[in-house]
A and B are shown apart, each in its own frame.
Chain A
Amino acid sequence: MTTATIIESQATLPSLTTRRSLVRLRVHHLLRRKLAVIGAAIILLEVVAAIFGPLLVRYDPMAPNFAAILQPPSADHWLGTDDLGRDILSRLLTGTRYSLLISVTAVTIAMIAGVCLGIMSGYVGGSIDEVLMRILDSFMALPSLVLALAIAAALGPGLANAMLAIAVASVPTYARLVRGQTLSIKENEYILAARATGVGSGRVVGRHILPNTLGPVIVQVSLGLGFAIITESSLSFIGLGIQPPIPTWGWMVQVGFQFLETAPWYVLAPASAIFLAVLGFNLLGDGLRDALDA
């Protein structure tokens, strides 16, 4: 074992056992927060609905039924029917899958890109940091929803473009967050010691900096998923998301608004689903932040 490896292994504190205990402690802190548990339960329910919902629905979410147009909620149609007689609950459950798919994919892309850019900017510093931060500042000058709208408008409507638009609009937040973390972590003595003993930059970043930035990133992922759901719905509401006949929450709201006076349930069901999803992610995000700070 070389001196560098010995010093590095000593520097990789806390040890694996301690780390597991820390994780358990954080989870314990999280579970003590009732609102965070409620948030996690809402998300779990949405995930179950997204996975199994389309298998359990009694009606085809795409097939029109002109004998049952705009029917109010009943025993047959728990959330009523839409303007083409389709069961709103079936469409809502199918839409859950798409809304979560777009949001999770977009946030994953944004997180990976943001973490890479943030670490590079914070760790390398100098002119690379300066240039990257000024570019990110220019992106952050635009409200995220407006930026996502502009990107989606340029790329055109569709599933992949909506994901990309949300991801690009979210990248600066992750990059800024991770850069700040990296700037602070890289000055710690164990990092300086590792570098002084010849540990390569890749290893320093991979073993020491990256794991220590993950806490705030996880919090941001939870809050970012709420933002992604709202943005995806807004894009679909404006007609820049997934195109019909695939049901998305935002598109259902958009069409539902045309029938607000005669069939308020048409808007109420998907808008409430968006609200619950965002609330769930916000509650969990807040709880995670408090648990990590505790």
Chain B
Amino acid sequence: MGQYLLKRLLATLPVLFLTSIVIFGLMRLLPGDPVMVIVGQTQAQMSAETLDKIRRENGLDQPIVVQYFTWLEKLFTGDLGRSIQSRQPVWGMLLPRLLPTIQIGLMAWAISIVIAVPIAIISATKPNSWQDNLGTIGALLGAAMPYFLLGGGLIYVLGLRLKWLPASGYVPWGDDPVQSLRHSILPAVTLGVGLTAIIMRQARSSLLEVLRLTYITSARAKGLGERQVILQHALKNAMLPVVTILGILLGNVMAGAVITETIFGIPGIGRLLVDSIYSRDYPVVQAIVLMIGFVVILSNLLVDVIYGYLDPRIRY
């Protein structure tokens, strides 16, 4: 296991390295002189000497390859650069924004699993029944639902008309856990519906496959009740592909956070990304995109490791 983990980690390194090149390269696609982005509107009053000085200070007078390795070197020491707008270290800006994104992402994940798995069980145990058809149609609608429509509908009905839940904003968990939870429910549901649809479809088809296997027939032949057969024998094996999907869906959660945090005015990583795009704060954009890439790559690695624990037949 340890050897496998080491091999997988080593195989991940080139992808991490290439991802960093892709992100660094993307930010260098910017039209025009990067110094002009740094100085913004004030460049009209600046002399050529001052612009040269800024260029030198930021290492922009160096060849692109040197710039990349300097950036990479700083990255290894935890230095993500400074924001063009606020001049604050980027790392310091990211940290307080992580909590809302993680909290809402985890809630969305939990909501989707809690809803999707029971529906999948009902669908798979009664294939082609009205319950199965309803579940399938629900999953189709959920998968196509844009965050704008669901989020807008929830804000309007539950937030603005019925006033059951706050329509926008965020309260940190440490300040008031109840209010924090109330503020997170609508964005988490908005983010979770799409995930629910994908998990439900995957869990249903996986469970259908497992239920056809002979060990399930023999469990039934032994006289075990249907509930016991499903929950104790079939579900555990059927959940293996669901674990993979959960890992893959982490990317969807991060991407969805960009839109849901904008809709609900949540000060998370997604909102910071959008704000930084608006203000052309490229060191912050670069750092967030890089962080998302790294999280996705590492989650894929984690899924592989979890597989080994869930299924003892898998040998590395």
Contacts and interface: CB of A to CB of B under 8 A. Distances in A.
A238 B277 contact: yes
A272 B254 CA distance: 24
B173 interface: no
Interface string B271-306: 001100110001001000100111011000000000
A134 B26 contact: no
Q: Chain A interface: which size bin?
A: 35 or more
Contacts of B289: 142, 146-147, 150
A142 B296 CA distance: 7
Interface in A229-277: 230, 233-234, 237-240, 250, 253, 256-257, 260-261, 264, 267-268, 270-272, 274-275
Given A260-B155, A261-B160, A154 B26 contact: yes
A135 interface: yes
Which of B141, B251, B254 is most buried by chain A, counting CB atoms within 10 A of its CB?
B251
Nearest to A148: B255
Interface in B147-178: 148-149, 152-153, 155-156, 160
Which of A134, A234, A240 is most buried by chain B, counting CB atoms within 10 A of its CB?
A234
A156 interface: yes
A226 B144 contact: yes
A86 to B, nearest CB: 19
A231 to B, nearest CB: 9
A235 to B, nearest CB: 10
B89 interface: no
B277 A271 contact: no
Interface stretch (A173-181, A197-205, A278-286): A278-286
A268 B153 CA distance: 8
| Main DSSP-derived SS at the A contact region | helix
A153 B27 CA distance: 8
B261 to A, nearest CB: 11
A261 B293 contact: no
Interface in B33-91: none
A267 B254 contact: no
B222 to A, nearest CB: 35
Interface string A128-158: 0000001101110111111101110111100
Interface stretch (B1-9, B16-24, B208-216, B225-233): B16-24
A35 B140 contact: yes
Nearest to B290: A142
B30 interface: yes
Contacts of B292: 142-143, 146
Contact of A237 (B18, B251, B259): B259
Contact of A137 (B15, B140, B259, B282): B15
Contact of A150 (B23, B155, B262): B23
B146 interface: yes
B284 to A, nearest CB: 11
Interface string B121-153: 000000000000000000011011110110011
Contacts of B144: 226, 275, 278-279, 282
A271 B144 CA distance: 11
Contacts of A146: 251, 254-255, 258, 273, 289, 292
Contacts of B143: 282
Which of A147, A156, A279 is most buried by chain B, counting CB atoms within 10 A of its CB?
A147
A185 B255 CA distance: 35
Nearest to B295: A141
B226 to A, nearest CB: 29
A139 B140 CA distance: 28
Which of B141, B146, B156, B252 is most buried by chain A, counting CB atoms within 10 A of its CB?
B146
B146 A271 contact: yes
B31 interface: yes
Contacts of B254: 143, 146
B84 to A, nearest CB: 13
A233 B146 contact: yes
A143 B19 CA distance: 12
Given A238-B262, A275-B144, A275-B149, A137 B18 contact: yes
B29 interface: yes
Nearest to A135: B18
B223 interface: no
A25 B154 CA distance: 44
A134 B15 contact: yes
Interface string B96-115: 00000000000000000000
Nearest to B252: A143
Contacts of A144: 255
Interface in A87-118: none
A282 B296 contact: no
A268 B152 contact: yes
A283 B274 CA distance: 31
Given A141-B297, A153-B277, 9 more contacts: A137-B18, A141-B293, A146-B273, A150-B26, A240-B277, A253-B148, A257-B148, A267-B156, A286-B140
Interface of B: 14-16, 18-19, 21-23, 26-27, 29-31, 140-141, 143-146, 148-149, 152-153, 155-156, 160, 251-252, 254-255, 258-259, 262-263, 273-274, 277-278, 282, 285, 289, 292-294, 296-297
Leading 8 A-B pairs by shortest Cβ distance:
A138-B18, A143-B251, A271-B149, A279-B144, A145-B255, A143-B255, A278-B144, A154-B29
